[in-house]
Homo-oligomer: A and B are copies of this chain.
Amino acid sequence: MAERSWICRKCGFKKDLLSGYHYRCPKCHSPIDLWYDFEWRPSGWGIYRYRSMLPYTPLTSLGEGLTPLVVRELRGVKVWFKLEYLNPSGSFKDRGSVMALSLARSLNYGSVIEDSSGNTGISVALYAQAFGLKAEIIVPAAAPLGKKNLIKLFKAAIVEVEDRGRACEEALKRSKASNAFYVAHAWSPTYIEANKTIAYEAFEQGFRGDAIVVPIGSGGLLLGLYKGFSELVELNLIKDLPTIIGVQGVSARPVYEAIHGAVDIKGYSSIADGIMVPNPPRLSEIVNAITKAGGEVVLVDNNEIAQALRELINLGFIVEPTSAAALAALNKVINEGAGIREALIPLTGSGLKMIDDIVKLLSF
């Protein structure tokens, strides 16, 4: 078996993968990464197909990955939509959850904890149930009832707290007290490693475009795509890294401000809850990825997101507003005359989980 390690690029901490679990560096508390050899040898179905490119093979499949790639010509740009909302629990988070919870099982944990009001909570609850692990999901009290119902359906315990910040603290506290596996999707490298496979699939499905447009929440999707496409360049499978256009909402724009400095921009982006993350733990990595890929951050507001959502529904994609943020940003960039020819947009989450809200939102 080849060497596979936890590695901290900040303080140099390094330990074997199976020596224990670290959602962040146990020495300096920076984000932690996984180090391993890889080889391009795709075979089989789902994300299991790319096991030779991953730090370890997921224990089993619940049908995650190998989502459809649908091409449409929009305003002169060839747009490749990756239908990530057709994953088992209705979002791309299932890729990360199968990796994270496989590790929890391999390390003999009996229970997992996660803080999330939305797609990650549902995804973790589903995989925990299917993998025979107990789950506790810490949610802000204001989280939508439909999403809470889905979490309950998988018999996960729901703990309600005031807000997102408190949810994270509570998850950390409880995981320490009960020795549960703290999934910590915003920190853990397992979600980034899993999201690489979206890049591999898009490549195998024919995408050779010059740009990818990605909503940024905690940034795991952007970092995964960046890592995946960088490896495809390293393996000489593609020539150049696509430009990365990161998308944030006007009312939660930490990456934008890390690049451009503090700005005074009015407006709201509350309907795209998946990108309303004020403090992504891997902020400097995200900035670095966008810079290296010659990219930028585009801000969008509720009105632009709702219009893009209408456009996506008209195209036949039943997605949630967060997914529409990416198309809203691409529309903006096209209008400003950027010379993009072909762009990849991951459609992150299913609209079926909140169809009544979407109907209300689009009745303008």
Contacts and interface: CB of A to CB of B under 8 A. Distances in A.
A88 B85 CA distance: 9
Contacts of A359: 149, 152-153
Interface core residue of A46, A153, A317 (most chain B CB under 10 Å) = A153
Interface stretch (A65-73, A107-115, A235-243, A245-253): A65-73
Nearest to A146: B355
A90 B314 contact: no
Contacts of A66: 66, 68
Contacts of A352: 90, 350, 352-353
Contacts of A353: 352, 355
A45 interface: yes
Nearest to A354: B352
Number of copies: 2
A89 interface: yes
Contacts of A313: 129, 153-154
A331 B318 CA distance: 34
Interface in A19-69: 45-46, 61-64, 66-69
Interface residues of A, number: 43
A66 B152 CA distance: 30
Given A355-B353, A359-B149, A315 B130 contact: yes
A90 B352 CA distance: 9
Nearest to A122: B318
A250 B315 CA distance: 40
A194 interface: no
Interface in A82-103: 83, 86-90
A41 to B, nearest CB: 19
A62 B83 CA distance: 9
Contacts of A315: 130
Interface string A147-160: 00110111100000
B358 A45 contact: no
Contacts of A233: none
A222 to B, nearest CB: 23
A68 B98 CA distance: 15
A362 interface: yes
A264 interface: no
A162 interface: no
A356 interface: yes
A314 B88 contact: no
Contact of A46 (B61, B68, B152): B68
A27 to B, nearest CB: 36
A127 interface: yes
A352 B319 CA distance: 12
Contacts of A150: 318, 355
13 contacts: A64-B68, A126-B318, A129-B313, A129-B316, A130-B314, A149-B359, A153-B313, A153-B318, A153-B355, A153-B359, A154-B313, A350-B352, A353-B355
The 5 closest A-B pairs by CB, nearest first: A63-B68, A130-B316, A352-B352, A62-B316, A63-B83
Given A149-B355, A350-B352, 5 more contacts: A62-B317, A66-B66, A86-B86, A126-B318, A153-B358
